[in-house]
Structure 1
Amino acid sequence: MKKIQLITALLAVSLGWLTSCVDLDITPTTIITSEDIYNENGIKAYMAGMYNHLPMEDFKYDVNSDGVGQGIGGGYFVGNGLSVWTFWSSTGEMVNRNNTGLALHRAGYWSGGFKIIRQANTLINNLPNYPELASRSKAWIAEAKFIRAYVYFQLAKRFGGLPKVFEAQVLDPNDESKLWVTRESHAGTYDFILKDLDEAIADMPDKSEAGRANKYVAAAFKSRVALHAATTARYGSEKFPDWEVDGVLLQGIPSGRANDYFKQAWDAAKLVENSTYYGLHRANANKADNYAEVWEKSDNNKESIWLRKFDFNMSVHSYNSMMCPPRMATEGGDRFNPTLDWIELFDGLPLDANGHFNAFDANGNYIVYDNCQQLWGNVEPRLKANILIPGNLYKGGMKLDLRAGIIKEAYDPAVDKFKKITVDDGAAESNLNSSSMWNKAAYPDKNPFRERTFLDWSTSASADQRDPYVRSDGVKIFKNGLDGPKINGTSGTNTISGFFGRKYLDISLPKSATVHQTSTQSWIEIRYAEVLLNRAEAAIELAQSGDATYNGANMLDDAFNCINDIRDRAGAKLLTSTAELSTDLAYTNWTNPGPKGQGGFVEAPNRALQIVRVERYKELAFESKIYWDLLRWFTYDTQIRQYRRRGLYSFMFSKGAVVDDNGIPDGKYIYDAKSCEEGSGRISFNVNNYYETIPSNELKNNPLLQKNRFQ
């Protein structure tokens, strides 16, 4: 055991030195020997070194760091930081007070990737030289090809075509040009990635220990890779002009290749279905609890296809402390505020014909809800499992206390009616404490909030230090709730959207234990729901482009079944027929031309593709998937253009409100949708960001390495 640990440690060091053809360094010969590696324990340690450095956007990913000293090359960070929320806040999924701009993935991941590729190449090339390992070599080589394919894909979706390096290169001091390699075409790059995955699928075992790949992990991943290639071929040239150098198409894939890639995606996803090991989690009859268990019980769950494990001895993270409500953490908190734009995608909330929140009666007055939970009573269970619900108990019995303000005691919820006070049109900034930003169509003379409500205008850093409103009967009520939402102009760390997210949180962990660098939840890199969505999307694309049937299956029927399987597990409304998967115009958002309806926030070429894309937004949010979806759909620059995030602001009538033993009140509520109080500035994605430029130092080191467009 000590030898394995030593080898693992040495590998961790060596991976920081081993390089690709690009930077021209060579492997130190004094770190590990072939005798250390080429035995069963040595191979396991060698594999562990590669897996530990795989570039995942997981709990350790930090878009704000270049990874120097602790990372695995520019673009990924595997130290003690966590800012993956910035990655999620650029797509409309969420926002927080510290990250209100548009954050892109960290640029520059190149040499770190080729270091891992070199490690994989070394194993692939050398294992056949050890006949005593022949009984295991085929599976190990296949696993190394999977790892190589995984890294190459992370590079391909950033840069396009890449150098194909399938040998562990050695520097000739008399001729360094032997290390120079030109780039393959964009399509050629995907082809050799998919070939690696095909060979991995053929030779890997059906099952593997947690954290390592197997045949079905490779198939699931292949469905992701092929789908990315297919949509790049279908949509890329329309948005980002193809980039050809010396006859090689480096950025852009011929559109005629799209259906071939869609078929590969469908086949790979279908293979996973045919296994007996993976499927949607359905162990709990309560659909909200069942959905939450996908993360809360991910280590023992058939939906988890591929995990990255964390534990106290080897690697911990800070997800719990950074992402939960600040009142429920000893340190950190407040980074996880889903947007109303995302919330509106789910069933069960009051929406208008355009798909936007609309809790008003027939006379245009706010609907009065009996308590803080009534609004959420009939929402899709999947949403209940994705957010923390006001009034519920979390973290050892702490009740979530959310409201923007209280309505003065003089106003009776049974008698007094209010028209909409703010403007919610996707464009207007509407701050509650503003003397100029309110709904002047309903209230032409003045902002009625000062007259009718108490907001918390204090600058106190914590909610429990703020001056409460004292009702005529002596009952004290916190104006802004203990958990927000935060109002513009005040300090504090509460939500700025009116919501706190739940996915991946350990809601049973007490506040005292919610501290940095103690979280051990596993990261789910691939789960079965994504595979079903990959398959549904590929099937719809095939059906719409001339392949109504494929491999004996009707493509629209197959997509219909995949989507309904996910919706049924989520407790969502089921599609009623394949007629809904039509080529009718997709719904559009706000003032954009075209039909309106729920889901118009998510752009798509037509209704069928919009349905599956909305399903991805709902199912895969906060999993580092939506960002790359927007890139491969080439809708990022139009969907996130002059985009202003929106939140939901609740107001409780102080009259009749009942306060519990902990001082938390509940009474009748009205709800107002509008732009976020903070983080409401417009953000836009630049069309030139669909691809990265090649790192300049790599261009210097390898004169054959062609530049990308715009560099």
Structure 2
Amino acid sequence: MKMIKNIGLLLVVFFALSCGNVLDKQPLDKLQGENLFSNPEGVKLYMANLYYQLPIEDFTFFRQGFNWNTGDPNNGGFAPAMVTDEAVHTEFGDFIGNDDFQWWDQGYKLIRDTNILIDIIPTLDITDDERKALIGESSFIRAYAYFGLVKRYGGVPLITAVQKYEGDVEALKVPRSTEKETWDFVMKECDLAIANLAESWPGGERRATKWVAYALKSRAALHAASLAKYGDRSPLSGTAVDQKLVGLDKSAAAEFYKAAADAAEAIMNSGKFSLFRANPATPEDAANNYRLLFEDPNNAPEEVIFIKGYARPGSGTGHNYGIWYQPNQTANGWPHPGRMNPTLELMDIYESYDKPGVSAPIMTSEAGNDLTDYNGFNAAKQYKRFEGPNDIFKGKDARMWATMILPGTNWKGQKIVIQAGFIKPDGSPQIMGGEPYTVNGKTYYTYGAADRTQYSGFDTWGGNNTRTGVSFKKFLNEGVNVPPGWNQSTTDFADFRYAEILLNYAEAIVESGTGDKVKGAKALNDIRHRAGHKTDIPLTIENVIRERRVELAFENKRFWDLIRRREYHTTFNNTMRHSILPVLDLRATPAKYIFIRTNVARSNPSTFDYKQYYRYIPGIGANGLVQNPQY
């Protein structure tokens, strides 16, 4: 059986044993190694704690940090996608603040806890295989921790052993290493993990393996390579720059691209992994397969490399995607649904099957030249008319239909109604409000139905209805009726999967200009074939980035892609995000649908500042570190 690597089992152990007496006698940094690890349950508990702290950007990763499943209603499910061009929140229009996406104290706590383990490994009375496994696993965890730090802060203090306070605070202060030194350390730790971890665990334990470490190296190396190649797109200045605490020389790009490609290729050549249901017969099959991959990634062992598991509804091992992001009509009594609204920018990027290799923006008028007209309804415009509320999306990439709930499609046994208004027979619009309108004995409602429980779009009441024209589907399980309470969802999250590895490889090949371009093109097109495309497209950076956007949508990759490629400040420069409004046109008999491209209602333009490519370092007054530029 292909190996699925996840930590769900460990999290169950962690919470199940948290009230036990294995570790409650004295602080961890004072425990003797033999006392800690002589008890098998102690090993499980300690390792579960380390895995739980990993900076995995999953269903409980929000602006406030990781494992944020406490049910804070003020957070309202504001996911990282909502500060990118992927989505907006139903109510909030926030952008990136200085305090968002911080992970300093928590990162160094995980490093300290890992260093405790690393320091005592030589003292343990265990077999050589067991020792190698512990070395590999702890190296993987430390690599992941430093990756989480370096991509936020640049060069950071490299602490590789437990620090002990002996009366001199100054002796504990470690200066920042350069950003290059920090990325090199992540690579070194990944290599140590790869060298010591086995391909699987003897008892089938769901923990890091050699392949998981390769996946981490591929992702981290690609990030570093992009920074080196594109850092000059966002010039920064100051002491941190002068000391190379932030920034990489362009000359470093080649080595990191090679590391990313080599790590990805090791996985590709292993024969252990492949794409889930790689050759669908029809686009409809492709959409269903893609949806199933995320409903339960445990059913895709050939593709999934590392999973974070969620085990018990209503506990610290549940999450809230199922209640926050389902459409209003299926809220099941939950007062805050519909929060994730995919943008028109994302809809536009998907290909159509009849014109492969290019984005297929939503065309709303016969003129076809109004893609930048967001001024609302124009009576003089010759809008395309459609029989159904989702006909305008027909022929688009299957992954769009599996990622978004489109207007008029079925979800959990209901037709999801998303309508912004209607055009009266006299040509006057009634959009985003107004009273019911009756013509020829039939009554029409602005939002498509009379009762608020019967539609899922545009009404401002409760903040429960999409304001972009589509609702959210990816990761939601159509067959599960989620109870209306906190942390009721237990869908597992695929942290690393084979499709990302293929995309990492393709990007590293095309960006470096070296390596096997034929193999890189095949990696790109294999993913498209799984989405139902039959025509191969060339290996170009534009094609790779478009594939990343549609294949990895809402997997919390887009935020970091914009960061590492230094494209955030051009993507968001006094930028509005956009919606598409399905509107019933009563000028036609029978009535038909038209679609209007417009700015997201009740939103403001967003701008990304250069300094936000790095987070500020907290506690400068105490730790004496050099602060990042412009903070």
TM range (shorter): 0.7 to 0.9
Q: Could you list the per-position Cα deviations for residues 621-659 of structure 1 after superposition, in whole angstroms to 9, with x for gaps in the alignment?
A: 11111101111101111111111111111122358889x
Contact 1:349 1:357 in 2 (8 A): no
Q: 1:669 and 1:204 mapped to 2: Cα distance?
A: 57
Unmatched 5+ stretches in structure 2: 1-9, 369-380, 449-453
Q: Is it true that 1:709 corresponds to 2:596 in the alignment? A: no
Change in Cα spacing, 1:647 to 1:456, as seen in structure 2 (3 Å) is closer
Distance in 1 between residues matched to 2:76 and 2:149, nearest whole Å: 21
1:113-136 CA distances to partner (integer Å, 9 max, x unpaired)? 111111111212211212334331
1:228 aligns with 2:223: yes
Residue 127 (structure 2) pairs with residue 122 (structure 1): no
2:287 is aligned to 288
Count of residues in Structure 1 that have an aligned counterpart in Structure 2: 587
Aligned to 1:533: 503
Aligned-pair CA distance for 1:56: 2.4
2:593 paired with 1:672: no
Distance change (3 Å), C-alpha of 1:12 and 1:501: farther
User: Which residue number corresponds to residue 80 of structure 1?
Assistant: 71
Is the CA contact (8 Å cut-off) linking 1:640 and 1:684 kept in structure 2? yes
Contact 2:14 2:48 in 1 (8 A): no
Match in the other structure for 1:360: 365
> Could you tell me how far 1:367 is from its partner in structure 2?
1.5
Equivalent of 2:247, from 241, 245, 252? 252
Cα deviation, residue 573, structure 1: 6.4
Query: Is 1:169 aligned with 2:186?
Result: no
Secondary structure at 1:334 match in 2:
coil
Say which SS state the counterpart of residue 195 (structure 1) adopts. Answer: helix
1:345 is matched with 349
Q: In the superposition, relative to structure 1, how do residues 274 and 206 fare at CA in structure 2: closer, same or farther (>3 Å)? A: same
Partner in structure 2 of residue 494 of structure 1: 465
**1:470: which partner in 2?**
438
8 Å CA contact retained: 2:584, 2:592: yes
Contact 1:483–1:495 (CA under 8 A) maintained in structure 2: no
| Higher Cα radius of gyration | 1
The residue aligned with 1:599 is none
Structure 1 residues 250 and 166: alpha-carbon distance in aligned structure 2, compared to 1, 3 A threshold: same
Paired position in structure 2 for 1:684: 607
**1:452 paired residue number:** 428
Q: How do 1:58-207 and structure 2 match up within 5 A? A: 58-63=58-63, 65=64, 77-81=68-72, 85-104=78-97, 106-173=100-167, 175-207=168-200
Amino acid at match of 1:79: T
Q: Does 1:270 align with 2:274?
A: no
TM-score using structure 2 length: 0.85
In structure 2, what residue type is equivalent to 1:140?
Answer: L
For residues 371 and 486 of structure 1, the distance between their equivalents in structure 2, rounded to whole angstroms, comes to 18
CA contact (8 A) 2:71 2:486 kept: no
Matches of residues 496-645 of structure 1 in structure 2 within 5 Å?
496-510=467-481, 513-543=483-513, 547=514, 550=515, 554=516, 556-572=517-533, 574-576=535-537, 578=538, 581=539, 608-645=540-577
1:199/1:28 CA distance change after superposition, 3 Å: closer
- Call closer, same or farther: CA 1:5–1:506 in 2, change over 3 Å: closer
SS in 1 for 2:582: strand
Partner residue, 1:434: none
* Mapping for residues 417-428 of structure 1, pairs under 5 Å: none
Structure 2 CA distance for aligned equivalents of residues 236 and 227 of structure 1: 14
State percent identity of aligned pairs. Answer: 29
Contact conserved, 2:236 with 2:611, CA < 8 A, in 1?
no
1:591 aligned partner: none
1:46 and 2:46 are equivalent in the alignment: yes
When normalised by structure 1's length, the TM-score is 0.76
| Per-residue deviation, 1:670 | 1.2
Residue type matched to 1:311 in 2?
A
- In structure 1, what is the equivalent of residue 398 of structure 2? 381
- Which SS does the other structure have where 1:622 is aligned? coil
* Helix, strand or coil at the partner of 1:694: coil
- The one-character-per-residue Cα deviations of 1:657-699 (angstroms, maximum 9, x if unpaired) are 89xxxxxxxx5211111212232x211111111112211x2x3
**Number of the residue aligned with 1:328:** 330
Match of 1:432 in 2: none
Amino acid at match of 1:407: I
Q: 1:142 touches 1:201 (CA, 8 Å); kept in 2?
A: yes
> For residues 247 and 49 of structure 1, do their structure 2 counterparts lie closer, same or farther at Cα, with a shift above 3 Å needed?
same
Q: Is the 8 A contact 2:293 2:299 kept in 1?
A: no
**Alpha-carbon contact 2:140-2:190 (below 8 Å) kept:** yes
Q: 1:344 to 1:4 in 2, by over 3 A?
A: closer
Aligned to 1:250, the other structure's residue is in SS state: coil
Cα deviation digits, residues 78-121 of structure 1 (max 9, x gap): 53346564421111101123222313572542121111111111
Query: Does structure 2 retain, via aligned residues, the 8 Å contact 1:76–1:106?
Result: no
Cα distance 1:247–1:376, how it changes in 2: closer, same or farther (>3 A)?
A: closer
* Distance in 1 (alpha carbons) for counterparts of 2:277 and 2:13: 42
Whether the 8 Å contact between 1:145 and 1:196 is mirrored in structure 2 is yes
Query: Structure 1 residues 3, 237: CA separation in 2 closer, same or farther (over 3 Å shift)?
Result: closer
Match of 1:483 in 2: 455
On the 8 A contact 1:350/1:359 being kept in 2, the answer is no
| Aligned-partner SS, 2:581 | strand
- CA distance in structure 1 between the aligned counterparts of 2:239 and 2:179, rounded to whole angstroms: 10
Q: Retained in 1: the 8 A contact 2:33–2:120?
A: no
Does structure 1 conserve the Cα–Cα contact (< 8 Å) formed by 2:390 and 2:406?
A: yes
Q: Aligned partners of 2:507, 2:594: CA distance in 1, in Å?
A: 39
- The whole-number CA distance in structure 2 between the counterparts of 1:53 and 1:362 is 54
After superposition, the C-alpha distances for 1:8-65 in whole angstroms (9 at most, x for unaligned) are 4579998xx98xxxxxxxx6648x97413344432222110111121222222231x4
- 1:482-526 per-position Cα deviation (integer Å, ceiling 9, x unaligned): 4353168x775311111112111122233x735432110112211
Root mean square deviation, CA, Å: 3.1
Amino acid aligned to 1:635:
E
1:405–1:456 Cα contact (<8 Å) kept: yes
What residue is the counterpart of 1:318 in the other structure? 320
Q: Distance in 2 between matches of 1:258 and 1:246?
A: 18
State the alpha-carbon separation in 1 of the partners of residues 241 and 344 from structure 2.
Answer: 48
CA distance in 1, matches of 2:459, 2:508: 44
CA distance in 1, matches of 2:33, 2:274: 42
Instruction: Name the aligned partner's letter for residue 49 of structure 2.
Output: G
Q: Is the contact made by 1:60 and 1:80 (CA closer than 8 Å) also made in structure 2?
A: no
Secondary structure of the residue aligned to 2:471 is: coil
3-state SS of 2:244 partner: strand
What's the counterpart of residue 56 of structure 1?
56
- On the 8 A contact 1:382/1:571 being kept in 2, the answer is no
- 2:384 is matched by which residue type in structure 1? I
Q: 1:89/1:210 Cα in 2 relative to 1: closer, same or farther (>3 Å)?
A: farther
Asked whether the 8 Å contact 1:11–1:46 carries over to 2, the reply is: no
Separation (CA, whole Å) in 2 of partners of 1:292 and 1:519? 16
Q: Between the two structures, name the one with larger relative contact order (CA 8 Å, sep ≥ 6).
A: 2
User: 1:270/1:178 Cα in 2 relative to 1: closer, same or farther (>3 Å)?
Assistant: same
Does the CA contact (< 8 Å) of 1:643 and 1:684 recur in 2?
Answer: yes
Letter in structure 1 aligned against 2:522: N
